[in-house]
Copies of this chain bind each other. A is one copy, B any other.
Amino acid sequence: MRYAERLEKLATLMRVHGIENFLITRGPNLLYFAGIDGPAALVVSLKLERPVLFVPPLSLHAAEEYAYSGLEINNTGTNARFEVVVAETLSSLDGTLAVDDIDIDTYRLYSTLLREREIRQGSSVIWELREVKDEEEIQAIRRACEVADRAMRAAYEVLYPGITENEVKAEVLAEIHRSGGERPAFDVIVASGPRSALPHGPLQRGGMRDRALARGDVVLIDLGAVVEGYHSDITRTFALGKVGEEFETAYRYVLAAKEAAEQYIKPDTHCSYPDSVARRKLEEARLDQHFMHSLGHGVGLEIHEQPRMSPTSSEVLAANMVVTCEPGVYIKGKWGVRLEDTVLVTERGAERLTTFSLHDYEIDV
């Protein structure tokens, strides 16, 4: 991994934004810059020769084994609270201090320890780097997408009346691991019948039981895999036999909306634009009011990253960003349709990294 390069780019951006010191504590950011996901804290300072990786005893072995070798490792021990040890070093470093996302308790603790010194939110600086992927990252995402395609195939092959949602999930998870995935990218969604109308699938709680698939059901499957820490994301919607004309029309329009939006997933386009293209396409069939989420999101070390592909996004697409394109239509009490691929932004436009068929959605039963 290109830790030295990433840390150098971060230092450049810190100079641009007037940040002398950066405290990084979020797991994915630690993985990106230090090669270890914590609990730990990375202090990058323009005043220090090498960044310092603070680790509690629990993470020490992992840090020694996996962390980028260009860091100074500081074992915080068990005598003082972790944040107190980190704050001691920060106190000795003059100048502006930025942090990535921390909760308000941690913020207040550091604020007190650092005697009310101003603490800036610096996440956007880190996203400037993370949202554009390097070659190694793109290779890992490609592999994660291949695993996701295979897992979708494994699900597709067992879809038949009588099998339950949980049994389909078991097939997906087994295939993810058989194909070299490290873990699922998120909780697999298998939502059948009226449950497919809930964008996130059925909630798991008391009273919500497993459900067997039935003839005439729509089945929405949303899954992803992780390879070398990098995620993939794909959704397909299937029909167990004939569902009806209303569904077929919706499917056709969601697919058309997706294809239309992907034409505009290219460098120098505002992230909000493909979203509006998809909505306009659905409007032709008066389905736009049933598309009540954003078009997509960035994908990388996290399943939901910057940039957001939403109506209110102020970002602009660039080559080597990886985003999802996932329009959907949800008719309460009946069914839902969502079609999603993970796509790479290239100079020549969008390249789909997940490639499972979008056309063979009707299953003979």
Contacts and interface: CB of A to CB of B under 8 A. Distances in A.
Contacts of A204: 182-183, 226, 228-229
A222 to B, nearest CB: 13
A47 interface: no
A16 interface: no
A306 to B, nearest CB: 13
A356 to B, nearest CB: 20
A90 to B, nearest CB: 16
B61 A197 contact: yes
Interface in A56-103: 57-58, 60-62, 64-66, 78, 81, 99, 101-103
Nearest to A203: B66
Nearest to A210: B180
B60 A292 contact: yes
Interface stretch (A169-177, A233-241, A317-325, A357-365): A169-177
A115 interface: no
Given A169-B177, A170-B177, A173-B177, A205 B103 contact: no
A330 interface: yes
B173 A178 contact: no
A215 to B, nearest CB: 23
B203 A228 contact: no
Looking at A58, A81, A107, A177, the one whose CB has the most chain B CB atoms below 10 A away is A177
Nearest to A206: B228
Given A103-B101, A208-B228, A62 B177 contact: no
A65 B178 contact: no
Contact of A103 (B1, B102, B167, B177): B102
A298 interface: no
A229 B206 CA distance: 8
A169 B167 CA distance: 16
A205 B35 contact: yes
Given A140-B206, A166-B182, A174-B174, 17 more contacts: A31-B205, A35-B205, A57-B293, A61-B197, A64-B332, A65-B198, A78-B311, A99-B104, A101-B104, A103-B103, A103-B104, A104-B121, A105-B121, A108-B121, A136-B206, A166-B181, A206-B228
User: Top 8 A-B pairs ranked by shortest CB distance?
Assistant: A170-B177, A57-B292, A173-B173, A182-B204, A205-B229, A58-B293, A170-B174, A166-B177
